[in-house]
Amino acid sequence: MNLLPLIVVVPLITAVVFSYIYRSKYVKPLTLFIGFILLVLPLLGTYGPYFFGGHGIVYIGTIPLVSGIVYTLNPLKETMIFTLMLIGSIVLVLSTRERELSGVFTSLVLMGLASVSAVILTEDLFNLYVFYEIAAITQAGLVILSGTEEAYRSAFRYLLVGTMAGSILLLGVGLLLSATGSLNIGDMGRCLTVNPLTPTVYGGLLMLIVGLAYGGGLPPFHTLKADLYARAKPFVAAILQAYSKFILIALMLVVLKLFGNLPIFHTTRGVLIALSVFAMVFGTVMALLQEDYRKLLAYHTVSQGGYVALGLALGTPLAILAGIFHGINHTLYKSALFIGAHILDKIKSTDMRKVGGLLLVTPTLAFLILCAKLASIGIPPFNGFQSKLLLAEAVMNANMPELAVLMLILSIGTFLYMMKAFYLIFLRPCSEEQLREFKDVKISKYYILSLGLLLVLCLFLGIYPDIVIDRLYPVVEDIGVKWVLESIKNS
């Protein structure tokens, strides 16, 4: 029996249970338990399609149409879900160290994990929309949990725009439904290649891109996302960025599957590349200006989201591979950085002007965070280097060397602000009594262990990237846009 739906259903059931028993004293042990269960979930499914309710393919005349909702699992989706569940598990385990933990937090994290895995797995546009909305509400709730006025405000802004973007996304789904008569992505893509394009299809594409930009944090919605990451508690921001990165990848893949083989993809590609380049540049420039470590990380997340989107927007198999690989790598090292920021928050504050000289207090932490920073800048032997190299190679292959130059310049910018943050937090001299004050704070072993685990993974992927790349490549080759390759060969 194929146990694929359990990836979504088990977190949902536990989320409902946790929201009911949120004040019970068993919440902490149960959260710890669920955290380990999550790691088993991605292994449950078998590859191939899964038909909900047993409604398979029905023929109308000679045209095969999928009658119900389909999930598919392939190595690509499995890797993405495994990364997501790993981050979720780490965040849940860390949350048991919080004094005010209640079942509400666990419930929201599980709900988000379930909905994002559903967005990744689904082959049905309306189902995608439903779970996309669940993810939007969940992210707002997770930010509100930190309880400051800024958190309330950024969540409110996020929800206001989110409702608009969600409605627009649904309108796009409706338009595409009317033009193709199906909600299954494969069927829709096939129908679009056969029939002539109408204004309805163009409208649907435009609206899908609006939904994608909102869900993934691309311009013009990037400031909302950056605000969201900066206002949440840092270890919550670790899971928030994982959510939006995977939603971005999933929606980009949907756009590629639907429109990749159509002539309008040429324009779409230009628009998407422009959006992602803007996100890259904007994120880097804004991060250079920040005094607060959390905000710096938030804008860094936006700029790295741009890298991921750039890879996927280029449309060649190599570029898609690079984009997805960078997304996975980025999720890993950025979670490590956010957990580091959380420890910093525990010690004193994330404001870089108020801390300093922490190298003497916690040398282990300093070493681990330095490693994470090196990974994020893209220095060997960490995974960030491998994926950025792959992305640069893909950009060169796609005949856009100017983008590679831009990426190099932005990497220098990233190096600058990351090292500035490292200097201000760990190296800057500070007074004796301040150091004594910092030393009084106990740092839980859990934080160091989880940081260590994430960095070992980063190092491992940096040395043996083929483990992931070989799994992803066959899937990505199918999605890759054929004519882009041909036009490059011809020129």
Partner 1 sequence: MKLSVSREVAVSLSFLLFGAGVFYSIYSIEVVEGVNAIYTHIKIVPNFVSAVLFDWRGFDTLGECLILINSVLVTGIVFGKGLFNWDFLKEVYGEEKCKDSDLGFTPIVKVLAVPMGVLLMALGILVILGGHITPGGGFQGGALISAAYVLAMVAFGVRRCPIRFTYKFLESLESFGALLFLILGLLGMVLSGYYLYNIREIWGIPPFPSPPGVGDVGIIPYLNIGVGLKVLAGLSTITVLLLSQRIISKNIGKG
Partner 2 sequence: MDLQLASFITAGALVVLGLYGFFFVDNVIKKIIALSIIGNGVNLTLVAMGYKEGGYAPIYIPSVEFQVFAREMAYPLPQALVLTNIVIGASMLAVMLALSIVFYRKYKTLKTSVILKED
Distances in Å between the Cα of 92 and the Cα atoms of 88, 97, 391 are: 6, 9, 32
Q: How far is the CB of 176 from partner 1 (least distance, A)?
A: 10
Is the CB of 152 or the CB of 446 nearer to partner 2?
Answer: 152
Is the CB of 189 or the CB of 315 nearer to partner 1?
Answer: 189
# residues contacting partner 2 (CB under 8 A): 28
Is the CB of 130 or the CB of 443 nearer to partner 2?
Answer: 130
Answer whether 149's CB lies under 8 Å from 140's CB.
no
Answer whether 286's CB lies under 8 Å from 301's CB.
no
How buried is residue 23: exposed, middle or buried, by Cβ count under 10 Å (0-12/13-18/19+)? exposed
d(CA 335, CA 354): 23
Q: According to the binding rule CB under 8 A, does residue 24 interact with partner 1?
A: no
Q: How far is the CB of 38 from partner 2 (least distance, A)?
A: 25
Answer whether 217's CB lies under 8 Å from 305's CB.
yes
Q: According to the binding rule CB under 8 A, does residue 150 interact with partner 2?
A: yes
**Where in 130-149 is the site for partner 2 (CB under 8 A)?**
130, 133, 137, 140-141, 149
Q: According to the binding rule CB under 8 A, does residue 1 interact with partner 1?
A: yes
Q: According to the binding rule CB under 8 A, does residue 278 interact with partner 1?
A: no
**Where in 200-239 is the site for partner 1 (CB under 8 A)?**
200, 202-204, 206-207, 233
**Where in 295-334 is the site for partner 1 (CB under 8 A)?**
none
Among residues 34, 87, 90, 140, which is the contact residue for partner 1, using CB under 8 A? 140
Q: According to the binding rule CB under 8 A, does residue 163 interact with partner 2?
A: yes
Q: Which residues contact 275 (CB under 8 A, 6 or more apart)?
A: 213, 218, 219, 309, 313
Among residues 34, 38, 41, 159, which is the contact residue for partner 2, using CB under 8 A? 159
Structure tokens at 68: 């119900």
Is the CB of 183 or the CB of 458 nearer to partner 2?
Answer: 183
Q: According to the binding rule CB under 8 A, does residue 202 interact with partner 2?
A: no
184: which strand partners?
124
Q: According to the binding rule CB under 8 A, does residue 19 interact with partner 2?
A: no
Q: How many CB atoms lie within 10 A of CB 441?
A: 12
Nearest CA to 90 among 161, 39, 131?
39
- Helix 125-144 to helix 199-216 angle, to the nearest 10 degrees? 30
Among residues 83, 102, 386, 414, which is the contact residue for partner 1, using CB under 8 A? 102
Q: Is 292 helix (H, G, I), strand (E, B) or coil?
A: strand
Q: Can you give the binding site for partner 2, defined by CB under 8 A?
A: 126, 130, 133, 137, 140-141, 149-150, 152-153, 155-157, 159-160, 162-164, 166-168, 170-171, 174-175, 177-178, 183
